[in-house]
Amino acid sequence: MRDVSQAFLYHLQWKTQLRNFVDGKGDFDVEEISPEGCSFGKWLLSHEIAQDASAPEIQELISTHDDLHETAKRVYDLKMSGQVNAARQELRKVVKASLKLYSLLGALNMIKDDHGFILMSE
């Protein structure tokens, strides 16, 4: 499950579900509020990624993902309490954090080969 493009899609689907939830176009699985509950988080916890977890690139990806989920929790809570406009404002932070996540995934993709991740130490 080293496929970075699949991880990108996992996050894109999650973000779309969150946006649809805020817009009243669907539900959002509360389990996916936790960083470990979404498909992207499961990808991050996979054996293939975990073996490189000490690498700075992976650490930054994990940190960004955790921060993103903290913001998503606020979005969810605001929406559930009826504060839709505030939820939409907070959702903008999710979009901004997603751009950083995509950038990190792109960089990670550039430093992997057919055998897995080749993480640059410098």
Residue boundaries of the structural domains of the chain: 4-113
Backbone angles phi, psi at 113, to 5 degrees: -125, -165
Per-residue pLDDT, 55: 77
H/E stretch holding 44: helix 39-45
Average pLDDT on 6-18 reads 93
Q: Say what percent of the chain tops pLDDT 90.
A: 62
Question: In Å, how far are 3, 16, 61, 86 from 80, measured between CA atoms?
Answer: 34, 17, 28, 11
Q: How far apart are the first and last CA of the chain?
A: 25
Question: In Å, how far are 3, 121, 122 from 59, measured between CA atoms?
Answer: 18, 13, 15
pTM summary value: 0.83
Confidence of residue 24 (pLDDT cuts 50, 70, 90): very high
Q: Give the fold, CATH level 3, of 4-113.
A: Four Helix Bundle (Hemerythrin (Met), subunit A) (1.20.120)
Average pLDDT on 19-23 reads 97
The pLDDT tens digits for 27-78 are: 999 899 999 999 999 998 887 777 777 778 888 999 999 999 999 999 999 9
Mean predicted lDDT score pLDDT of the chain: 86
Per-residue pLDDT, 98: 94
Confidence of residue 116 (pLDDT cuts 50, 70, 90): low
The overall longest dimension of the chain from CA atoms, in Å, is: 48
